[in-house]
Structure 1
Amino acid sequence: MAHTLARGLWIWNTASIITSQTGTSQLITGAQQADVTDLYLYTAPESYASTKPQLQTFIASATEVGLRVWGLDGDRAYFGDAAGPSNFYHGIDNLTAYNDAVAPNERFFGFQADNEPSDQGDYTSFHNGIPDSALSTAPGSGLWQATQALDREMLMRSWLSMHTTAQQVLHAHGLQFGAAMPWWTENYEGGELSVSFPGDSNERKGIMKYMMGLVDEFVIMSYNTDPALAAARVDAQAAYASTMPAASRPRVYASVEVTQGIGPNISYGDTAGKDFKTVVMNDVATLTSSLMNYAAFGGIAIHQWSAWETMPT
């Protein structure tokens, strides 16, 4: 089946890029050399206003060469067991206000959420390392709710609720909505992460299946330096999305990690003999070939620019 594939690139060092003509030029050149089509540009909630002129210049430069620019934000604190999603929503509102105030060639194409529920720092109500089936249902075992099982259940509902609201706002403004997603939702400690959503629903199913109905792009952080293992982390999601009607299915992406300090066999930047751009691109081609048979397959994303820029050829 013929595909028109895209290639995403995450950018976290936004300030140093958009405030520098040299930084912008180097990014655009590097993106073109890697056949990138979409830039996921980290944009903190207040930065749409505080860096508006710089964003206008940067997006206009990217648009001129056919690159689509997405806003990007995410934080473990946006979940309901922490500070909650109000600042997440505020950022999306600021993005739409920015788009309304600028010329068409200076506008964001969409927004990507990068909200991951696993335990980080002070936030521990996911209960890392425990499958759904082994979560305690004993009263008092929970950290946020009454039980461990209810902790995770309400966290999953919070995740979906955030994305539901984001989708509604973004689609109302003609913007695409994407999500960076962990690969393990279909196989967490041997079992699927499942939830009832909304809370009064009698239907219980995998979190991934609910999320597929909320986003235009489902970008899986399938990081592994073995293309076969990386593809295996995308198979279930791409297969499910491919059963959805063509008009409503999301585009499912795989991705590669190149940042140093993540770990060998996970990041190309840490894996001896694979820490070269040519090797990454060869593996990207292999990964693409493995997933091309899925109608929903949308392409590959690279994490992330500052590491990619300095990686040897």
Structure 2
Amino acid sequence: MTSKQTRSMWVWNSVAILASSTETNQLLAGALDAGVTELYFYMAPHYYGPQKPQLQTFISRATTSGLHIWALDGDRAYFPDAAGPSNFYHGIDNLIAYNAAVAPHEQFSGFQADNEPLDHAEYRTFHNGIPDSNLSHTPGTGLWQPTQAQDREMLLCSWLSMHETASQLLHAHGLRFGAAMPWWTEAYEGEELGVSFPADGEGVRRQSVMKHMMGLVDEYVVMSYYTNPAEAARRVEAQAAFASGMAGVGRPRVCAAVEVAPGVGRRVSYGDTEGKNSRAVVLRDVGVIERSLSRYAAFGGVAVHHWSAWQSMPD
């Protein structure tokens, strides 16, 4: 790992961490043992007020240990075909208010959005499994807009507009902004996910949603989950190459990621793959990914998903 790279880890069981000094100790020690310096710490919009004293203590200890804490939030319901983004923005407002009320060593250093547009539960307007070129343009085929094609187009536009608003809010208060992104934006059913953004702009260029998103974030984390490190690295190459071609000022860091939670799928998660289910193997493969992608100027490191699964993993 070079000096420009970091290792990061998602933490979803944040309430349990904040409620227990033992859990906090284990997280801080485990993160440092794995070479992790960035934690994406789940914060529902309503957590900031009730959890404020515990957050101050936790972030202060983490800062002393050399860790940077990012608030993390995301939900399929934040898209406008569902409940809409207002609660997503409310969480960001609460993060900004929390940071303004505490000392610098108790502050979050950034915010990561984990919003993914795929069909989930009652939300069905992405039309899973259909490439862009096969989406129907016949009126009446859409579930949210008039056609299937418009369903996806507007869903992708809303994905970008949510991030654009979040970026403006966070940057106005000196906070970094990151996004967890699926690897397949460049190869969904064999095609890139293209979109014209903003939807009502003049002379708007239609291009991959990834290329639009790169201009909105400081850190672009690709969920490149695969237990063959060469394949995991390959899933980040298009993103890292594109970002590396951007101007140095405003260029986002592009990170890869590995999955260790059980129940996700063989070859996808180290927790489900025979011969791969150990921390030592994961860290070895993380090193392979880091070396493979280090040729890209924008490459920023590897993230591990997620802490509680890592904690339960054999050494």
User: What is the TM-score when the length of structure 1 is the normalising length?
Assistant: 0.99
- Quote the residue 1:138 is aligned against: 138
Contact 1:68 1:108 in 2 (8 A): yes
Out of 218, 221, 246, the residue aligned to residue 219 of structure 1 is: 221
Runs of 4+ in 1 over 4 A off after TM superposition: none
Contact 1:156 1:207 in 2 (8 A): yes
Deviation string 1:240-287 (CA, Å, 9 cap, x unpaired) is 000001111100000000001101100000111100000001100111
**Structure 2 counterparts to residues 2-17 of structure 1, below 5 A:** 3-17=3-17
Query: 2: CA distance between counterparts of 1:16 and 1:76?
Result: 24
Query: 2: CA distance between counterparts of 1:124 and 1:88?
Result: 20
Out of 183, 186, 211, the residue aligned to residue 209 of structure 1 is: 211
Query: 1: CA distance between counterparts of 2:291 and 2:64?
Result: 30
Out of 263, 266, 274, the residue aligned to residue 265 of structure 2 is: 263
Distance of aligned partners of 1:2 and 1:312 in 2 relative to their CA distance in 1, 3 Å threshold: closer
Q: Does 1:228 align with 2:197?
A: no
Distance of aligned partners of 1:266 and 1:76 in 2 relative to their CA distance in 1, 3 Å threshold: same
Q: Does 1:273 align with 2:275?
A: yes
Displacement after TM superposition at 1:23 (Å): 0.6
**Structure 2 counterparts to residues 1-313 of structure 1, below 5 A:** 3-201=3-201, 202-313=204-315
Contact 1:183 1:220 in 2 (8 A): yes
Query: 1: CA distance between counterparts of 2:26 and 2:200?
Result: 51
Query: 1: CA distance between counterparts of 2:25 and 2:153?
Result: 46
Query: 1: CA distance between counterparts of 2:80 and 2:158?
Result: 6
Displacement after TM superposition at 1:18 (Å): 0.9
Contact 1:3 1:292 in 2 (8 A): no
Listed as ranges, the gaps of 5+ residues in structure 2 are none
Q: How many residues align?
A: 313
- The 3-state SS of whatever aligns with 2:129 is coil
Listed as ranges, the gaps of 5+ residues in structure 1 are none
Which segment is superposed worse, 44-53 or 192-201? 192-201
Displacement after TM superposition at 1:194 (Å): 0.7
Displacement after TM superposition at 1:200 (Å): 2.2
Give the letter for the 1:179 counterpart.
A
Give the letter for the 2:240 counterpart.
A
User: What is the TM-score when the length of structure 2 is the normalising length?
Assistant: 0.98
Give the letter for the 1:125 counterpart.
T
Deviation string 1:24-51 (CA, Å, 9 cap, x unpaired) is 0110000000000100000000100011
Query: 2: CA distance between counterparts of 1:108 and 1:243?
Result: 30
Displacement after TM superposition at 1:2 (Å): 6.0
Report the RMSD for the aligned CA atoms in angstroms.
1.0
